[in-house]
Amino acid sequence: MADHHNSSEKHEDKKHGYYTGDIHNQFVEEHHVENAVGIIWRTFWILLAITIFEVGIAFTSIPHDILIVVFILLTIVKAYYIIAFFMHLKHEKVSFKYSVLLPFVLILFFIVMAIVEGNYLNHMG
């Protein structure tokens, strides 16, 4: 009976992962998130609700300028959920998050600056 207890204890300590299968054959440990399927379904329903809301307000009499701002904000919220949960960035280290988010922020900054410059040149010319 004591042997059975020891074998089940060893089974609990076993790490999840796989061997690379190349010349080094290293063990790569996989981190396991509890309730991963539930998190994915919850994210799916949130994204679906936001999308239905976007489609619903597209056919209202809300002014076009306000609709554009609302669509941009909701698209950013949807992008967060996709990046955080489907691409698993939420559970990464902070330095990796910054290395992914910094280029995105810089590209967004350059797009905004190009729009501002284009608008300025449009008013001047």
pTM over 0.85: no
Q: Establish if 19 belongs to a structural domain.
A: no
pLDDT at 63 over 60: yes
Q: Which domain holds residue 77?
A: 33-91
pLDDT tens per residue across span 75-89: 999 998 988 888 777
Report the mean per-residue pLDDT for the chain: 82
Look at residue 1 and tell me whether its pLDDT is greater than 80: no
Do the domain assignments include residue 111? Answer: no
Q: Does residue 7 form part of some domain?
A: no
Q: Does the residue 55 lie in any domain?
A: yes
Residue type for position 5: H
Number of domains present in the structure of the chain: 1
Q: For residue 104, is it within any domain?
A: no
pLDDT greater than 80 at residue 74:
yes
SS in 3 state form for the chain? CHHHHHHHHHHHHCCCEEECCCCCCCEEECCCCCCHHHHHHHHHHHHHHHHHHHHHHHCCCCCHHHHHHHHHHHHHHHHHHHHHHHCCCCCCCHHHHHHHHHHHHHHHHHHHHHHHHHHHHHHHC
